[in-house]
Structure formats: structure tokens, C-alpha cells
Amino acid sequence: MNDSVETLTPWSHETFEARLRERGTAYHIHHPFNVMLNAGRASQDQIKGWVANRYYYQISIPVKDAAVLSNCPDREVRRQWIQRILDHDGHGDDPGGIEAWIRLGLAVGLRREEIEDLRHVVPGNRFAVDAYVNFCRQRPWQEAVCASLTELFAPKIHKERLANWPQHYPWIDLAGLQYFRNRTTQARRDVEQGLSITLNYFNTWQMQQRALQILQFKLDVLWQMNDAMALKYGVTA
């Protein structure tokens, strides 16, 4: 088989998944600002800035997921996907991930009102998050699902924070780290659903290349968020 024909042959699910996972080298865990945070070199002001800016991302996630639901005609997918909104917004006695993030903010020295009124959110961070939400509103729901697959790489960064932050930043109340504890399990469940949809929907070579582009777009969103915070708060060597 010549190279041109071979190139157009769709990958198996195993190979396709491996190609998606390879993109983890561009995950924002490798950004200098995140490396600084997890290496214990961040000041309290830098940590506060990171938490305040990431809050804008947290409150945008259920908005993004609502956009996926509004575009998705598949009832079974919606029945599963709606759990993501409940995870973040909360339901019943569960205050949800957004409240858990606010409690992280309180633990690092922010006041609730300065988190919720978004006064610390820098323009580059806001622009990147809005671009992601708009993508999920405007593109087919399967593409929005694919963009969520940066969750493939999330459990590792949450585990690292849980392991390193108590040592590096003993002044942070451990109760404030509950968001990271929650996401170590929630992210795995989310990945299983999102990965299954992506592997089955993007079933030609051209579509698989499109999936890689979408995942790279989301990785770029997260990287830009860190670029914006690094510009505002600096990176301590």
C-alpha cells in the first residue's frame, strides 16, 4: 500500500486514543507558571492570582456543558452529560465544585466577594475562557465533547497538588484542597464518556485529524490562561 492510501486509513481506536494522549506534552501542567506553583516557588499573591483567575474558568464550565446539552439530540448522552453541571453547580446537599473552588480561594487568603465579582480576572484569561465556551456553543456537540478531553491529563495534576501543596504551602488550610480531591475521581468518569464518544464519532482519518486539532485548541486555551497569569503575576525562578 502506498503512503498516500495508508495515510488516509483511519486509526484503530487504540492508536487514535494513543495519539490523543500524546498531546499531553502540551498540557498546562508543563507551563512555567504551573511548574512554579507545583514546585513550591509561588508567593501567596501568585497563588491568589491563580485561584481568582481560574475561578472564571470554573464558573464557565457548567455554561459550556449546558451548551453541549442544548446542541445534543441524543437523550442517553444528555442523561450522562448533565452530571457535569451538577458536579460544578451542586445539587441537594452537595455544594458543588464552584463552591469548593471558592473555599480554596478563602484558604489562600481571598475574600468571597473578590472571587465572585471577578475583579482579579485578567483580560487574556477571560478571552481564552470565552473562546472555549463560544466554541462549544457554535460547533457540533461531538466537537465540544472532544475539546473536553484535556481531562485525560487532569488527574495527574490534581494528584500532584494534593501531594505537593501541603508541603510547599503549609499555611493553606487542607480543607481548601477538597476541589482537587473531588476531581481525581470525577475527571476519570468524565474521560470515559468523552473518550468513548470521540473514538466512535471521529471515525475517518480526516475526522481523526480534526479531533487532534480540537484537542490542541483546548490545550492552547489552557496555556493562554497561564500565559496571561504569568504576565500579570510573574514567574518566580
- Whether 2 is in a domain gets the answer no
What total number of domains does the chain contain? 1
Confidence of residue 5 (pLDDT cuts 50, 70, 90): very low
Beta-strand runs (E) in 92-184: none
Burial environment of residue 95 by CB neighbours within 10 A (0 to 12, 13 to 18, 19 or more): middle
Give residue 101's identity as a one-letter amino acid code. W
- Whether 1 is in a domain gets the answer no
Residue 157, C-alpha cell as written in the block: 495534576
Write down the pLDDT at residue 7.
Answer: 65
Write down the pLDDT at residue 24.
Answer: 95
pLDDT tens, residue by residue, 163-220: 999 999 999 999 999 999 888 877 778 889 999 999 999 999 999 999 999 999 999 9
- Whether 174 is in a domain gets the answer yes
Output the CA angle 129-133-139, nearest 5 degrees: 140
pLDDT tens, residue by residue, 57-112: 999 999 999 999 999 999 999 999 999 999 999 999 999 999 999 999 999 999 99
Mean pLDDT score of the chain: 94
Could you list the residue range(s) of the whole structural domain that residue 197 is in?
7-233
Average pLDDT over residues 114-123: 98
Contacts of residue 180, defined as CB under 8 A and 6 or more positions apart, other chains included, come to 158, 161, 162
Give residue 77's identity as a one-letter amino acid code. V
- Whether 74 is in a domain gets the answer yes
- Whether 26 is in a domain gets the answer yes
Cβ atoms of 144 and 61 within 8 Å: the answer is no
pTM for this prediction: 0.93
Confidence of residue 159 (pLDDT cuts 50, 70, 90): confident
- Whether 96 is in a domain gets the answer yes
- Whether 61 is in a domain gets the answer yes
pLDDT tens, residue by residue, 26-63: 999 999 999 999 999 999 999 999 999 999 999 999 99
Residue 200 sits in a domain whose CATH number is 1.20.910.10
